[in-house]
Amino acid sequence: MRLLLIAFIPMAAAAMLRFRVPGAKRLLAISQGDLTRWVPPAQPSAIVNAANERCLGGGGVDGAIHKAAGPELRKLCEALPEVAPGVRCPTGDAVSTKACGALQSTHVIYTVGPNVSGRRYESDVSGDATTDPAKLPAAYRRTFEVASELGLAAVALPAVSCGVFGYPLADAARIGTRAAVASNIDYVEFVLFSDDLYDIFATAAEDACGPPEVT
Mean pLDDT of the 59-86 span: 97
Helix 60-69 to helix 71-78 angle (10° resolution) is: 110
Q: Where are the domains of the chain?
A: 14-209
pLDDT at 126 over 70: no
pLDDT at 7: 34
pLDDT at 214: 84
pLDDT at 119: 60
Question: How sure is the predictor about 14, in pLDDT bands with cuts at 50, 70 and 90?
Answer: low
Sheet strands (E) in the chain: 13-20, 27-33, 45-50, 94-98, 107-111, 154-157, 187-192
62 labelled catalytic: yes
pLDDT at 128: 81
Radius of gyration of the chain (CA): 16
Question: How sure is the predictor about 11, in pLDDT bands with cuts at 50, 70 and 90?
Answer: very low
Task: Indicate the CATH number of 14-209 among 3.30.70.1090, 3.40.50.2000, 3.40.50.1100, 3.40.220.10.
Answer: 3.40.220.10
Question: How sure is the predictor about 157, in pLDDT bands with cuts at 50, 70 and 90?
Answer: very high
CB 30 within 8 A of CB 143: no
Q: Which of 62, 93, 132, 186 is catalytic?
A: 62
